[in-house]
């Protein structure tokens, strides 16, 4: 038995030694020169484009490889020399009409003499167990040429056995998986795991963001521990989430094929690889195998003032409803990102008041240190002479696509310094809340500035310096959505005054369902059922919304349904319409509502036959298997027929991601005295007030007041022109994606997607005592441009794809109330203007010398305007209103 054990151990030892002595990677024979043919080609196109129709180019060369040194202690430690010769570049595809930018040009003219000479200088590769330990090249070589050689050298890094590993090559430090068969090895590289220093950013919101996929597969055919052929393919694909027609892809291929072997130079003696390298050429130095970034200065590019002159006209106020304004905005932002502070400040100081607001939008949206310093030097927050510019700066900060901690620090510092305008002071805090949320979404909740801003907002609610400040901090929390702020919201919701209570509850409506605990629902139930104090209708209906949209229990729903029939008339109708909307639209709560309605005590004709004009309705703007656009409109009236609240929302859903695209809320109170009507119970002492609040792309904006108090009301009635009041107007950067990709071949790709919006949202309330009619209007005009730009640049030739989609449209909500009779007549209308959709795709190839090929495709179609459907009762009411409408209306106010 002992003899067998000893024999077994001897066999194992012998086997282990043989494996150890055998190479685990490629192995070159002594005194041999391997002659190979290499080519790399790159294609750029839309995702669904055919490869043979894509733009791109091919680089080919001969490659000589020979072994310089092998460690005497083992085959797996080698130094090899790689030399590219007879380099050529040509187009990857034939173009229509035979256009060929390379025709008649030799390699020296295309590359340039110095570049070509650099490319043909040999590099050394130190391999151990098939992995690259060091890469040696000559210093101060052109980065683009050196990267091409890194792309060739990286192909020699591989292992002959199956398994996973981390490898450092031209793509960075990447996770790879090897699958080995008899004479074939496949290497799959997970490109999304590659760690490589690269600048870039993306829009965090998934709805407004970019989806990308990448694959990398390299196949080795092996004979006698060396390659006979290598085939590599790398694919990157990109697509805009909310506009799936805007896509792009890059396909990069490499091929290395052994043509012959011949007698080569002998080995260089030595024990240390560094000493051997010096013997080859003392000028060689070790450098990273990871691809390096080359800094390129733009030649013949206009200066910033010169570029501004080319886009200035398109950004005039009268053009803000046109796509050309959004297009100019995007191109100017890209130019601003390369500009210095002094250049930017010079333009800001030289412009007039008409264009300055749009210029402030662009400078702030550039989101660079220089642009931020310039705008802060330009704006004076201790003066109220440029309040509009200060507001546009703050809103652009709120819409920032990739904010950083420095931006939040800036706002905190501004808030802690004197600010002349109180509205601007409030807006600073509100936008701080928006930045806190965005930074937390990027896992930046523990950043010092974020912690400080959170403390400031929460402390402002715990111990406000004045009652007026409560609204400001509640609005900031409505943007920040801090979980630790929920107890404070509950306190203000239940114990605060009407406006503060309603604002606290509408803030809770924005929290994810996971944060709406049983304690929150208990508080909302107490508010709705008025267990502790009497609340206004707006407060109670907002509380009901929190309950119904956050997994209500059986008793929650039952108690709400039992209250219907016992409520004030218009609130009763509003709640009834809300329940019907939940059932009609199959909202999550609909199953529980149906379950409760099986109880006949809850579901009876007397309870569900109430009359009134208040309503709630939800519908689809558009939907497909991938995405859905949803609108909702709810409107609550007082018992005398005067508007209390209208709430218009637009949501965009993509998969499980949601974007609150817009919300416009108009609220009014205390207007019954104008028509000698009796206020509803509990609302007898409300001051006259009307105002508008808006959420835009998930950012709560500063509310707008139409009037506050009876004297202000009468003053504006007598002096008003009837012109709409602007809620938000300007240029917004929606989508912002920029990445620099290092391709395996050594080529570099830039991928950029930008989406811009020119927007104008305004509102009016018109009132006619003579005709006893009121009319509320909310009008939105938007122009959108989304552009993608993908280029593959090798310094001597560039191929690229530019694609864009643009459109202009408008949405108007009109609520008409005739209170000359009772029950009063109410008609709601939601109209969408026609929208032209223009799409353009440009593909190009261009030499550094200037010769180029360009292909342009353009498509345009018109989406017809339409009126969004609401419930049948509204349609019947509109027929009655417009059937008896007078020929003219009285003057309007504010």
Q: Which domains does the chain have, with CATH numbers?
A: 613-707 (2.20.50.20)
SS3 assignment, position 67 = strand
861 class by beta-carbon count within 10 Å (0-12 exposed, 13-18 middle, 19+ buried): exposed
Query: DSSP secondary-structure letter at 893?
Result: B
The number of CA neighbours under 13 Å toward the Cβ of 698 is 24
pLDDT per residue over 855-881, tens digit each?
A: 999 999 998 888 887 777 778 778 887
- Is the predicted pLDDT of residue 718 greater than 60, yes or no? no
Contact of 7 with 111, CB cutoff 8 Å: no
So what's the pLDDT on residue 352? Answer: 92
pLDDT-derived band at 22, boundaries 50, 70, 90? very low
Give, in order, the Cα–Cα distances in Å from 448 to each of 373, 414, 435, 455, 475.
21, 17, 13, 11, 22
Q: How far apart are CA 540 and CA 742, in angstroms?
A: 57
C-alpha distances in angstroms, 36 versus 67, 158, 228, 512, 845? 14, 17, 9, 60, 28
State pLDDT tens for residues 674-699: 666 677 776 777 777 878 899 999 99
Which pLDDT score, from 0 to 100, does residue 588 have? 94
Higher pLDDT, 820 or 393: 393
Kind of pairing, strands 184-195 and 243-263?
Answer: unpaired
Pairing label, strands 226-240, 210-223? antiparallel
Between CA 262 and CA 745 the distance in angstroms is: 27
Whether the pLDDT of residue 252 is over 60: the answer is yes
pLDDT tens, residue by residue, 348-381: 999 999 999 999 999 999 999 999 999 999 999 9
Considering only residues 659 and 692, tell me which one the structure prediction assigns the higher pLDDT.
Answer: 659
More confident residue, 21 or 308: 308
A 10 A CB-CB count for 305 gives 12
Question: If we measure between CA atoms, which residue out of 625, 666, 638, 653 comes closest to residue 813?
Answer: 666
In this predicted model, what pLDDT tens digit does every residue of 202-215 receive, in sequence order?
888 899 999 999 99
Indicate if the pLDDT at residue 298 is higher than 90: no
DSSP characters over 759-814: EEEEEEEEEETTTTEEEEEEEEEEEEEEEEEEEEE-SSEEEEEEEEEEEEEEEEEE
- Worst-scoring range by mean pLDDT, 84-98, 318-332, 461-475, 509-523? 84-98
Give me the pLDDT at residue 150, please: 97
**Do the Cβ atoms of 347 and 355 come closer than 8 Å?**
no
Q: How far apart are CA 799 and CA 58, in angstroms?
A: 11
Q: Look at residue 603 in the predicted model and tell me its pLDDT.
A: 79
Query: Range with the lowest mean pLDDT among 173-177, 314-318, 772-776?
Result: 772-776
- Sort 235 into a burial class: Cβ within 10 Å, 0-12 / 13-18 / 19+: middle
CB 402 within 8 A of CB 201: yes
The predicted pLDDT at position 517 comes to: 96
Contact partners, residue 525, CB within 8 Å, separation at least 6: 531, 543, 547, 556, 559
Task: Count CB neighbours of 228 within 10 A.
Answer: 15
Contact 751, 248 (CB under 8 A): yes
Question: Residue 608 pLDDT more than 80?
Answer: no
User: In this structure, are residues 640 and 675 in contact, taking their beta carbons and an 8 Å threshold?
Assistant: yes
Q: Is 651 helix (H, G, I), strand (E, B) or coil?
A: strand
Burial of 28 (0-12, 13-18, 19+ CB in 10 A): buried
Token reading at 151: 């792309």
**Does the pLDDT at position 279 exceed 90?**
yes
- What is the percent of the chain where pLDDT is above 90? 66
Query: What is the per-residue pLDDT across 611-624, written as a single tens digit (0 to 9) for each?
Result: 788 889 999 988 88
pLDDT category of residue 851 using cuts at 50, 70 and 90: confident
Whether residue 793 has pLDDT greater than 60? yes
Examine the pLDDT at 742 and tell me if it is beyond 70. Answer: yes
Asked if pLDDT for residue 595 goes beyond 70, the answer is yes
485 vs 891, more confident = 485
Give the model's pLDDT for residue 5. 43
Closest Cα to residue 38, out of 2, 72, 87? 87
**CA distance to 57, 747, 749, per residue, from 795 (Å):** 13, 9, 11
Q: Which residues contact 95 (CB under 8 A, 6 or more apart)?
A: 853, 855
Per-residue model confidence as pLDDT tens digits over 50-98: 988 899 999 999 999 999 999 888 768 999 999 999 999 998 888 876 7
pLDDT of 149 > 50? The answer is yes
Is the pLDDT assigned to residue 812 strictly greater than 60? yes
For residue 714, name the pLDDT band (cuts at 50, 70, 90).
low
Residue ranges of alpha helices (H) inside 249-354 are: 273-280, 304-311, 323-336, 341-350
Query: For residue 717, what pLDDT is reported?
Result: 55
Does 823 have pLDDT greater than 70? no
Asked if residue 852 lies in contact with residue 101, where contact means CB atoms within 8 angstroms, the answer is yes
Percent of the chain with pLDDT over 70: 91
- Whole-model pTM? 0.89
Tokens of 470: 């409560």
Tokens of 763: 């509102």
**Residue 129, pLDDT above cutoff 60:** yes
Q: What would the two tokens of residue 324 be? A: 């050309």
Is residue 719 pLDDT above 60, yes or no? no
- Burial of residue 230 (number of CB atoms within 10 Å: 0-12, 13-18, 19+): buried
Of 541-550, 656-665, 719-728, the range with the highest mean pLDDT is 541-550
Q: Which residues, 6 or more positions from 447, have their beta carbon under 8 angstroms from its beta carbon?
A: 405, 408, 439
Say what the pLDDT of residue 713 is. Answer: 61
Out of 92-101, 445-454, 705-714, least confident range:
705-714
CB neighbourhood size of 620 (10 A) = 12
pLDDT given at position 586: 94
Give the mean pLDDT of the chain: 88
For residue 711, what pLDDT is reported?
A: 67
Cβ proximity of 725 and 716 under 8 Å: no
- Span 588-617, mean pLDDT? 85
Q: Which residue has the higher pLDDT, 882 or 517?
A: 517
Contact 803, 248 (CB under 8 A): yes
* Cα 68 from Cα 71, distance rounded (Å): 10
Residue with tokens 């500009």: 339
Query: Which residues, in sequence order, are bridge partners of residue 837?
Result: 807, 861
- pLDDT class of 830 with cuts at 50, 70, 90: confident
pLDDT value of residue 672: 67
Place of tokens 């229990």: 553
Q: Note the pLDDT tens digit of each residue in 541-580.
A: 999 999 999 999 999 999 999 999 889 888 999 999 999 9
């Amino acid at each position: 038995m002992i003899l067998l054990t000893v024999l077994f151990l001897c066999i194992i030892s012998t086997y282990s030694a043989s494996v150890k002595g055998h190479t685990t990677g490629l192995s070159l024979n002594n005194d041999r020169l391997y002659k190979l043919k290499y080519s790399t080609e790159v294609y750029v196109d839309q995702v669904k484009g055919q490869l043979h129709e894509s733009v791109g180019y091919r680089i080919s060369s001969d490659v000589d490889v020979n072994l310089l040194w092998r460690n005497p202690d083992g085959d797996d430690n080698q130094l090899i020399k790689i030399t590219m010769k007879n380099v050529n570049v040509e187009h990857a595809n034939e173009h229509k009409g035979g256009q060929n930018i390379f025709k008649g040009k030799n390699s020296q003219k295309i590359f340039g003499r110095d570049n070509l000479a650099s490319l043909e200088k040999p590099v050394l590769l130190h391999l151990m167990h098939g992995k690259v330990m060091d890469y040696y090249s000559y210093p101060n070589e052109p980065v683009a040429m050196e990267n091409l050689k890194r792309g060739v050298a990286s192909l020699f890094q591989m292992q002959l056995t199956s398994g996973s590993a981390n490898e450092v090559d031209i793509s960075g430090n990447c996770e790879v998986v090897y699958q080995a068969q008899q004479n074939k090895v496949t290497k799959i590289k997970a490109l999304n795991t590659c760690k490589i220093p690269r600048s870039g950013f993306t829009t965090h919101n998934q709805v407004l963001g970019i989806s990308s996929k990448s694959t990398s597969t390299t196949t080795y055919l092996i004979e006698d521990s060396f390659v006979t052929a290598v085939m590599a393919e790398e694919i990157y694909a990109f697509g805009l989430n909310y506009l799936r027609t805007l896509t792009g892809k890059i396909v990069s291929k490499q091929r290395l094929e052994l043509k012959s072997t011949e007698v080569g130079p002998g080995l260089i003696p030595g024990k240390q690889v560094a000493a051997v390298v010096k013997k080859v050429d003392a000028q060689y130095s070790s450098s990273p195998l990871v691809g390096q970034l080359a800094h390129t200065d733009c030649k013949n590019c206009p200066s910033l003032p010169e570029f501004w002159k080319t886009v200035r006209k398109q950004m005039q106020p009268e053009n803000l409803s046109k796509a050309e304004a959004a297009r100019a905005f995007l191109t100017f932002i890209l130019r601003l990102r390369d500009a210095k502070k002094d250049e930017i400040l010079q333009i800001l100081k030289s412009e007039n008041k008409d264009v300055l607001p749009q210029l402030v939008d662009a400078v702030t949206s550039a989101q660079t240190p220089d642009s931020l310093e310039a705008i802060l030097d330009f704006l004076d927050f201790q003066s109220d002479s440029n309040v509009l510019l200060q507001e546009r700066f703050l809103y652009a900060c709120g819409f920032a696509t990739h904010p950083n901690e420095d931006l939040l620090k800036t706002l905190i510092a501004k808030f802690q310094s004197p600010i002349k305008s109180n509205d601007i002071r409030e807006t600073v805090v509100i936008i701080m809340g928006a930045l806190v949320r965005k930074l937390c979404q990027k896992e930046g909740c523990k950043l010092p500035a974020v912690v400080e801003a959170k403390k400031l907002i929460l402390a402002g609610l715990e111990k406000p310096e004045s009652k007026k400040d409560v609204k400001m901090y509640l609005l900031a929390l409505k943007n920040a959505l801090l979980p630790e702020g929920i107890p404070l919201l509950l306190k203000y919701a239940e114990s605060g005054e009407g406006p503060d209570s309603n604002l606290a509850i509408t803030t809770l409506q924005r929290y994810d369902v996971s944060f709406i605990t049983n304690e929150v629902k208990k508080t909302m139930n107490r508010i709705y059922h008025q267990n502790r104090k009497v609340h206004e209708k707006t407060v109670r209906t907002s509380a009901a919304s929190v309950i119904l949209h956050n997994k209500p229990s059986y008793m929650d729903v039952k108690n709400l349904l039992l209250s219907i029939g016992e409520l004030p008339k218009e609130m009763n109708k509003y709640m009834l319409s809300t329940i019907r909307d939940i059932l009609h639209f199959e909202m999550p709560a609909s199953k529980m509502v149906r379950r409760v309605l099986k109880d006949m005590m809850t579901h009876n004709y007397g309870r569900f036959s109430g009359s009134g004009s208040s309503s709630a309705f939800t519908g689809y703007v558009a939907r497909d298997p991938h995405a859905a656009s949803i609108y909702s409109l709810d409107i609550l009236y007082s018992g005398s027929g005067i508007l209390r609240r209208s709430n218009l929302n637009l949501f965009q859903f993509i998969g499980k991601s949601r974007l609150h695209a817009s919300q416009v809320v108009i609220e009014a109170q205390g207007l019954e005295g104008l028509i000698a009507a009796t206020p509803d119970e509990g609302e007898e002492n409300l001051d006259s007030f009307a105002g508008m609040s808006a959420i835009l792309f998930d950012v709560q904006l500063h509310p707008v007041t139409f009037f506050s108090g009876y004297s202000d009301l009468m003053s504006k009635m007598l002096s008003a022109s009837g012109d709409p009041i602007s809620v938000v107007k300007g240029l917004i950067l929606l989508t912002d994606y920029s990445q620099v990709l290092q391709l395996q071949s050594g080529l570099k790709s830039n991928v950029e997607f930008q989406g811009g919006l020119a927007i104008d949202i305004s509102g009016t309330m018109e009132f006619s005592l003579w005709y006893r009619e009121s009319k509320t209007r909310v009008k939105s005009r938007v122009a959108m441009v989304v552009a993608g730009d993908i280029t593959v640049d090798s310094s001597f030739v560039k191929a690229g794809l530019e694609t864009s989609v643009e459109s202009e449209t408008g949405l108007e909500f009109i609520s008409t109330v005739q209170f000359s009779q009772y029950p009063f007549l109410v008609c709601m209308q939601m109209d969408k203007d026609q929208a032209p959709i223009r799409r353009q795709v440009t593909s190009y190839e261009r030499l550094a010398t200037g010769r180029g090929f360009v292909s342009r495709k353009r498509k345009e179609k018109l989406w017809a305007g339409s009126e969004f459907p609401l419930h049948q009762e509204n349609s019947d009411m509109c027929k009655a209103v417009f059937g008896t409408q007078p020929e003219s209306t009285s003057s309007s106010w504010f």
